Amino acid sequence: MKIVLDSLTVKRGGKVVLSNLSAVMEGPGLYQVMGPNGSGKTTLLLTILGSIRPVSGKAYIEAPVPKSGGRAIAYMPQSYSIPRDAPITVYEFVEGPLKLERPWPRVLKGVSGRLVEEALELVRVQRSLWREKLSNLSSGILQRVFLARILVTSAQILLLDEPFSNIDPEGKVEMAELVGRLSREKLVIVTSHDPILLLEYTKKILLLGHGYYAYGGVGEILRYEVLSKFYKKCAMELEKHVHVADWH
């Protein structure tokens, strides 16, 4: 399974966000996409999904289609448009993608029901919470539920947009361990403002910066000479350790 970016140029709002970008991300494994706000991280994921059409070049995936007829690729946005106080339970929210793939009246049972349960168990959401409304969940548990929602599709490629946002420090560590574990079997692309959380699992880093980019191994990208070109004065070298002051 792989994602190929071939001389990709993308505009949003009449402005070039990604310019002549080329990279190959091959799984299983984890790849991080970094860059200042507005550098095109979310734009890249939406282009890979086909939601945004490039000006030139192309982005395509190579992955086997699941035998169950599910998706080859799944996307977890930074947030969902569904209101937090909507009368929908955790279980109902996670089973949503499966229902959309079924003809009316979209009834799930048997194997489909087990997929929902397996996804919730994999992300370690306690069974006692499955019938809780989304509005009753903490931010950390809610992020796990968001992840479970894309796991039910059995996709082999996962695009995760800022999966650590709005989570407390302890929750971030737990989420990082979960994402790292998934990357052993799937191709996982993560946009992030804090590369340290996933560093031990990361194959390569794609660093974006308003129309230009750098792509390579962790040791090649997380260097002051490279980061300072993208983050300017927000990149600092403290006693030979590189730090990016990129709050989000």
- Rounded average pLDDT over 119-125: 91
* Structural domains of the chain, with CATH: 1-63+156-248 (3.40.50.300), 84-155 (no CATH)
Tell me the whole-structure pTM to 2 decimals: 0.86
Percent of the chain at pLDDT > 70 equals: 86
90 to each of 105, 119, 248, how far by Cα in Å? 20, 12, 27
Burial class of 40 by CB neighbour count within 10 A (0 to 12, 13 to 18, 19+) = buried
Residues 1-60 have pLDDT tens digits of 899 999 999 998 889 999 999 999 998 999 999 998 889 999 999 999 999 999 999 999
- Rounded average pLDDT over 118-141: 90
3-state secondary structure of 144: helix
What per-residue confidence (pLDDT) applies to 94?
92
What per-residue confidence (pLDDT) applies to 112?
67
Flag whether pLDDT at 248 surpasses 70.
Answer: no
Flag whether pLDDT at 111 surpasses 70.
Answer: no
What per-residue confidence (pLDDT) applies to 69?
57
Dihedral sign, Cα of residue 58, residue 27, residue 153, residue 45:
negative
Residues 208-247 have pLDDT tens digits of 987 789 999 999 999 988 888 888 767 655 555 565 655 4
What per-residue confidence (pLDDT) applies to 84?
63
